[in-house]
Amino acid sequence: MSTLKMLIKRLAASGAIIIGITMIAFLLSFLIPADPVRMLAGRSATQETVESIRHELGLDQPLPVQYIKYLNRLAHGDLGRSYKQKTEVATLIWSRLPATLWLMAGAIFFELLIGIPAGIYASAKRGQRGDKTAMVLSFIGVSAPQFVVGLLLLYVFANLLNLFPLGGYGSFLHLVLPAVTLGITGGGWYSRMMRSSMIDVLQQDYIRTARAKGLGEPKVVLVHALRNAVLPVIAMIGLDIGFFMNGAVVVESVFGWPGIGQLAWQAIQVIDIPVIMGVTLVAALSIVIGNFLADLVMPLIDPRLRVR
Amino acid sequence: MSLFRKFIKNRTAFFGAVVIAGIILAAIFAPVIAPYDPYEQFFEGLTLEGAPKPPSANYWLGTDLLGRDLLSRLIYGARTSLIIGVVANGVAVMIGTIFGVLGGYIGGWIGGAIMRFTDLMMAFPALLLAIALAAIFSPSLWIVALVIALVNWVWVARIIYAQTKSLKESEFIESVRSIGAAWPRILFIHILPHLIPTIFVWSTLGISTTVLLEATLSFLGIGVRPPTPSWGGIIFESQSYFLDAPWLVFFPGIAILLLALSFNLVGDTLRDLLDPTQRGRG
């Protein structure tokens, strides 16, 4: 019962945030200096045509009315039309989504592949040279600009060594370098979280018991401690969508990866506001959903977090 | 041992501080240090085919697509990175502190509303929000700094909020209140001093985020306008040519990495030294 109550509360909070996001997106689109009516009507349009288009689009109505209509359109999956591409924004985003989801899966794979072993290693060598080296490396990963990492990987592994294609989309080989780029920069955070999670677990009584039984240290760390320490780190993926969305814009533009990040970047170049707003809205939505899922999963993993 | 001695003894933090000091000095004394004018396009700065030249005795780090000296542009670019990094983070820490303290100290529905608003801001992906804002306001140095501050203050607000709230409920504040202290006294004399270490830590740690965000915005072509040199902008301009002229990506990339890394190392060490709850966990 109480879990259900908490769930409803979280859902309500997420709903409120989504409403707030739509408000901000709506207001932002009004701050833009360019007049969408003029853009649609073209330069030679008469004042009358402009007015009639304005009326047709409902842009002559009061703001609250327009906002309600905007919400209504959103509820029907209508994100507006791109100024430049003359297509529905929703269609554009929908067609780009699979590429971004692939990239995301690859990025998460490499983030965990780099972060988890590094974190385990650092916690096992806590305070020693190995720990310090691993943590400095994690800081380098976190501080490295994604576009530089991406371009350098392209230079070395695609240009010099010819192991991977020079950007583009289609096969598994195309996915490796962009995913590794995000994996290196995101893996730094995961290694730090993994390390502190491991250190917490390694101080618990049951670990002392395991050691007292005479279990070898590798077994204590890799079997007994790891199982408890790794789950909260994995649940962090839900909180990581924001990092990923930022990264997607950069990495997709470096590698010519046709996802929604590239869509946003192309829209920036021509100031195609409906597309920028659409992508921002979709990204914000996925962040809210990711946070909600993380909230949902955490208590399942760690019973101590359950509300009584 | 004093904090300063501890800080100096930490080799990574010391390394970070030296790099930061070096970059600040380079930015201040750019006209003295830079071998050439960063805007001058040299005739002999390009090959006969019009390609940029690799590092050589004349141009230590090579030249860019217009035949300008890369080293000079990097040295002047340090100004852009530092100004935006420091100003954006300063503004972000200021806004975050004000909102965090208000939210935590006032509480009630006003505090609740402030914190719900930070929740809302956190749901926006920072880069996309910055892009949307930069598309609306045409970017100049200060606008870019402001845009970055507007997306970064929420993290500071969250942390300050949590601290203010727990301070407000602590016993020593309760006792101060019980002897009849007025709210300005409680807030400024009893609560604020406890927040200073956090503010101090974020004033350094946060710069690494703002430096990276500035470089990223410049790389996406929505940062400071050319020809003003900026590290991200140099990479943006040379992107299509980088397979033939990798130094144009490599050197500015190293510069961005070093600056962001140094602020991270210094900030992290400060946090360890200043935050008693973190002591002994390192």
Per-residue pLDDT tens digits for A125-136: 888 888 888 888
Q: What is the pLDDT of residues B151-208, one digit of tens each?
A: 889 889 988 998 898 888 888 888 888 898 888 888 888 888 889 888 988 898 899 9
Long-range contacts of A32-37 (CB under 8 A, 24+ apart): A32/A273, A32/B135, A32/B136, A33/B136, A34/A271, A34/A273, A36/A83, A36/A273
**CA neighbor of A22 nearest in space, from A288, A245, A281, A290:** A281
Rounded-to-integer distance, Cα B80 and Cα B226, Å? 12
The parts of chain A modelled with pLDDT lower than 70 are 1-2, 32-43, 57-58, 302-308
Which of the four pLDDT bands, split at 50, 70 and 90, describes residue B281?
very low
- Around Cβ B220, how many Cβ atoms within 10 Å? 22
Q: Give B20-47 pLDDT, tens digit per residue.
A: 999 999 999 988 888 888 887 877 777 7
**Which range is most confident: A26-30, A224-228, B122-126, B246-250?**
B246-250
Mean of pLDDT values over B220-231:
83
Question: B215: which chain A residues are within 8 Å (Cβ-Cβ)?
Answer: 145, 147
pLDDT at position B220 is 86
| Inter-chain touch A155–B136, beta carbons under 8 Å | no
- Report the alpha-carbon distance of residue B140 to residue B147 in Å, rounded: 10
- In this prediction, residue A304 carries a pLDDT of 66
- Buried/exposed B254-272: b ≥16 CB within 10 Å, e otherwise: ebbbbbbbbbbbbbbbbbb
Amino acid at B50: G
Nearest Cα of chain A lies from the Cα of B139 at a distance, in angstroms, of: 13
Which residue among B125, B239, B261 sits closest to A143, beta carbon to beta carbon?
A: B261
Q: How far is B243 from chain A (nearest CA, A)?
A: 6
**Residues of chain B with a CB closer than 8 angstroms to some CB in chain A:** 12, 116-117, 119-120, 122-129, 131-133, 135-136, 208, 212, 215-216, 219-222, 232, 235, 239, 242-243, 246, 249-250, 252-253, 256-257, 260-261, 264-265, 268, 281-282
Q: CB within 8 A of B150, min separation 6: which ones?
A: B92, B129, B130, B133
Return the amino acid letter for A241: I
Cβ neighbour number for residue A52 with a 10 Å cutoff: 14
pLDDT score for B256: 94
Predicted confidence at residue A22, as pLDDT, reads: 86
| A121 within 8 A of A110, measured Cβ to Cβ | no
**What's the confidence (pLDDT) of residue A140?**
92
Q: Tokens 């993380």 label which residue?
A: A294
Secondary structure of chain B in HEC code, one letter for each residue: CCHHHHHHHCHHHHHHHHHHHHHHHHHHCHHHHCCCCCCCCCHHHECCCCCECCCCCCCCCCECCCCCEHHHHHHHHHHHHHHHHHHHHHHHHHHHHHHHHHHHHHCHHHHHHHHHHHHHHHCCCHHHHHHHHHHHCCCCHHHHHHHHHHHHHHHHHHHHHHHHHHHHCCHHHHHHHHCCCCHHHHHHHHHHHHHHHHHHHHHHHHHHHHHHHHHHHHHCCCCCCCCCCCHHHHHHHHHHHCCCCCHHHHHHHHHHHHHHHHHHHHHHHHHHHHCHHHCCCC
Give the A:B interface size as CB pairs under 8 Å.
136
**Residue A86: strand, helix, or coil:** coil
The DSSP letter of residue A155 is I
Residue in B276, B224, B270, B240 with CA at minimum distance from that of residue B85: B224
Q: What is the pLDDT of residues A149-205, one digit of tens each?
A: 999 998 888 888 888 788 778 788 888 899 999 999 889 889 988 998 888 888 888
Question: Rg of the Cα trace of chain A?
Answer: 24
Which residue among B132, B260, B268 places its CB closest to the CB of A276? B132
Mutation target vs A (from B116, B128, B249, B262; most A CBs, 10 A cutoff): B128
Among A133, A102, A56, A92, residue whose Cα is nearest residue A281: A92
CA B36 to chain centre: 27
* B136 or B198, which is more confident: B198
Give backbone dihedrals phi and psi of A225, rounded to 5 degrees, phi first.
-80, -45
Name every chain B residue with its beta carbon within 8 A of the beta carbon of A145.
212, 215-216, 219, 232, 253, 256-257, 260
Q: Measured between alpha carbons, how far is A227 from B236 in angstroms, rounded to an integer? A: 44
Q: What is the pLDDT of residue A265?
A: 84
Contact B63, B125 (CB under 8 A): no
> How far is A189 from A187, CA to CA, in rounded Å?
5
At residue B280, the pLDDT reads 46
Q: Which amino acid is at B18?
A: V
**Residue A211 confidence (pLDDT):** 86
pLDDT tens-digit series, residues B47-103: 777 778 788 877 778 888 787 888 889 999 999 899 999 999 999 999 999 999 988
The pLDDT value given to residue A307:
55
How many CA atoms are closer than 13 Å to the CA of A214, on its beta-carbon side? 0
Is the model more confident about A20 or about B126?
A20
Predicted confidence at residue B282, as pLDDT, reads: 42
pLDDT reported for residue A36: 63
